A and B are shown apart, each in its own frame.
Chain A
Amino acid sequence: MNEEVMKARAADEVVIKADGVKYSYRSGERVSRGVEGIDLEIRRGEFVVFLGRNGSGKSTLAKLLNGFLVPDEGIVTALGLDTADEDRIYDVRSKVGMVFQNPDNQMVASVIESDVAFGPENLGVPREEIEERVTEALETVGMSEYRNGSPNKLSGGQKQRVAIASILAMRPEVIILDESTAMLDPKGRREIMETIMKLNREKGMTVILITHYMDEAIEADRIFVMDSGRVTAFGTPAEVFAATEAIAAAGLELPVAGKVSLELKKMGFDVPFAITDEDLAEGVCRS
């Protein structure tokens, strides 16, 4: 088999697969719905975004994808492993890394390099290799100079980058960011988006981003719009953003460029649907 074929195969490889997944939260008598009937496949190297408002089930789905939650019905397989298999759960979690919302609540050590080393230490990685991994992970997120510093003095975006580095140090194949930009200021969000794009485009990492900001989904390979525990729309950003009804129903808001292009069209201008500001400018110029 030549290299190109292998690459093509690898690109097609399904890393995470959900099959008829249902999950509901129970506390005592109360049952609240999490997700119902999710089928999806995520392929290696993809940048996938789950969009939805609060309570749409997107975070539940994220937790189902790396075995934090086990589906009531259906099967989730991550890298060929059933997430319901308790004996292999750490294999799943080390390969499908997860970054959470609040950067402060996911750091365990008071020194940044110790925090990044925590994951590999838990996995029993030899010392010399941990050093190498810490260096590499911090370099990837651009936080090398803070290596010996304390996380308390960092900005939100920087802390979240360290949190990403801490996951990267475990050398995962997939990284899930569960609303990791939600608590950050615009600058911090931009830092995280840049880091994500770098991971995906340069390192070929499969990235799953859970968010309610539509503008973060613009550069995704595929978008899943979620509402009431179901996927209500999916496809490329252009396809999904054009499905205005599903987006409105999911309580989401289009990026400014998208809104402007739609309004222009409504007013009778021949402007193609655009998502990014550049596309809009180009479309307006052409028409």
Chain B
Amino acid sequence: MKDMTLGQYYPTDSFTHRMDPRAKLVLVIAFIVMVFLAESFLSYFAVIVCVVSAALVSRIPLSKMLKSIKAIIMLLIFTGILNLLFYNGETVLWSWWRIKISVEGIIFSIKMVLRLVLLVMGTTLLTYTTTPTSLTDGMESLLTPLKYIKVPVHDIAVIMSIALRFIPILSEEVDKIMMAQKARGASFDTGGLLSRAKALLPILIPLFVSAFRRADELALALDARCYNATPNRTRYKVMKFGLRDLAGAIGMAAFIVLVVALNNNFWGAYETVQSVWWLF
């Protein structure tokens, strides 16, 4: 429990790990756009190549990547089946009442599932390669322009950083309280849903009381560290947009162009391709 961190940072040293968190955030957004741009199977294939090469560059093992899919497996099955049964396709293979399975439906549901899988794999690469702390720093830096419309960007960043810092502390505390209540005969894993939910109350109340007490002391500690002493706050950690980030951006841009080109069959440049891949 002590080692728990938010997200799932995979500690290793790689090209992606060393990238500027801001660059990674922007690239992930670009990646999401790219996934939604993909239409044909060929362009999906390009996205797959993109994800696999990013994973290789990040030195994230395949098993880790697949683990992120496990979390959404129910969603995948659900979307897949719904699309399969209710897609309004032309070439009907089998139908009963309102349900009909068509060739178009099969193709569409495969694409939907593929899209979700790729989205999750690509975005979790960000959390695998970036510590929550540098992610917070990156977001703060990207949101800086909002300062001019009076959004307290730095305060938000401090709040996020404190939240990250206290998640393991509070989860440890939950363990302690649970043990204390168990020692008094409370049980948390028997009975129906309602009685289980009720059993959580004696955990939540002490947890909240303690959290508020901590908050009080933390507020004093922030004051002792002269928080908000000057608007001209300096930063210890500076992020640098380097060659590595430029290379990443160029790579991503190349993939996006490729995806768009594949969607349009290279604008008719390869008629033969069209004739082979007419199915898709």
Cα–Cα distance between A242 and B113 once the two chains are bound (Å) = 81
Residue pair A68, B220 in contact (C-beta under 8 Å) = yes
Whether B220 lies near A130 (C-beta < 8 A) is no
Give, as a whole number of angstroms, the nearest-CB distance from B11 to chain A: 11
B273 at the binding interface (Cβ < 8 Å): no
Interchain CB contact under 8 A, A94 and B229? yes
Interface string of A100-123 (1 = CB under 8 A from B): 111011111111011001111111
Complex partner residue of B229 from A90, A153, A166, CB under 8 angstroms: A90
Min distance, Cβ A95 to any Cβ of chain B, angstroms: 10
Q: Are B227 and A122 in contact (CB under 8 A)?
A: yes
B89 within 8 A of partner (CB): no
B234-261 near A? 1/0 per residue, CB < 8 Å: 1111100000000000000000000000
Quick check: B217 and A127 within 8 Å, CB to CB? no
Interchain CB contact under 8 A, B164 and A110: yes
The CA-CA distance from A120 to B225 in the complex, in Å, is 8
B236 touches A94 (CB 8 A): no
A114 to B233 Cα, complex, angstroms: 14
B226 touches A109 (CB 8 A): no
Taking CB atoms, residues of chain B closer than 8 Å to A117 are: 236-237
Complex interface: chain A residues within 8 A of B224 (CB): 66, 68, 93, 97-98, 100, 106, 167
Given contacts A109-B165, A110-B132, A126-B234, contact A94 B226 (CB under 8 A): yes
Determine whether B146 belongs to the interface, using a CB cutoff of 8 Å to chain A.
no
- Say yes or no: is A170 at the interface (Cβ < 8 Å to chain B): yes
Pairwise interchain contact B2-A93, C-beta atoms closer than 8 A: no
In the complex, B223 has a CB within 8 A of chain A: yes
Which residues in A have their C-beta under 8 angstroms from that of B232?
124
User: Are A109 and B133 neighbours in the complex by a CB distance under 8 Å?
Assistant: yes
Q: Which bucket holds chain B's interface residue count?
A: 20 to 34
- CB-CB under 8 A from B165, the residues of chain A are 107-110, 151
Q: Which of A107, A131, A150, A153 contacts B236 (CB 8 A)?
A: A131
Query: What residues of chain A lie closer than 8 Å to B79, measured between beta carbons?
Result: none
Q: Are B236 and A120 in contact (CB under 8 A)?
A: yes
Given contacts A100-B217, A110-B132, contact A122 B225 (CB under 8 A): yes
Q: Tell me, yes or no, whether B149 is within 8 Å of chain A by CB.
A: no
Q: Which applies to chain A's interface (DSSP): helix, strand, loop or mixed? A: helix
Q: Which of A104, A114, A134 contacts B133 (CB 8 A)?
A: A114
B217 to chain A, nearest CB (A): 4
**A121→B233 contact, CB < 8 A:** yes
**In the complex the two chains form, is A123's CB within 8 Å of B133's CB?**
no
CB-based nearest A residue for B216: A105
Bound-complex Cα distance A127 to B161 (A): 20
Interface centre among B131, B162, B226, B228 (most CB of A within 10 A): B226
- Check B168–A170 contact: CB distance below 8 A: no
**Chain B residues within an 8 Å CB radius of A90:** 226, 229-230
Contact A106 B226 (CB under 8 A): no
CB pair A119 B133 closer than 8 Å? no
Q: List 26 A-B contacts (CB under 8 A).
A: A66-B224, A68-B220, A90-B226, A90-B230, A93-B226, A98-B224, A101-B217, A107-B165, A108-B222, A110-B131, A110-B132, A110-B161, A110-B165, A113-B236, A122-B228, A122-B230, A124-B233, A127-B235, A127-B236, A127-B238, A131-B236, A150-B5, A152-B169, A153-B3, A167-B225, A170-B225
Q: Which 8 A-B pairs have the closest CB atoms?
A: A106-B221, A117-B236, A90-B229, A105-B217, A119-B225, A98-B224, A124-B230, A122-B226
- CB within 8 Å of A: which residues of B? 2-3, 5, 131-133, 158, 161-162, 164-165, 168-169, 214, 217-218, 220-230, 232-238
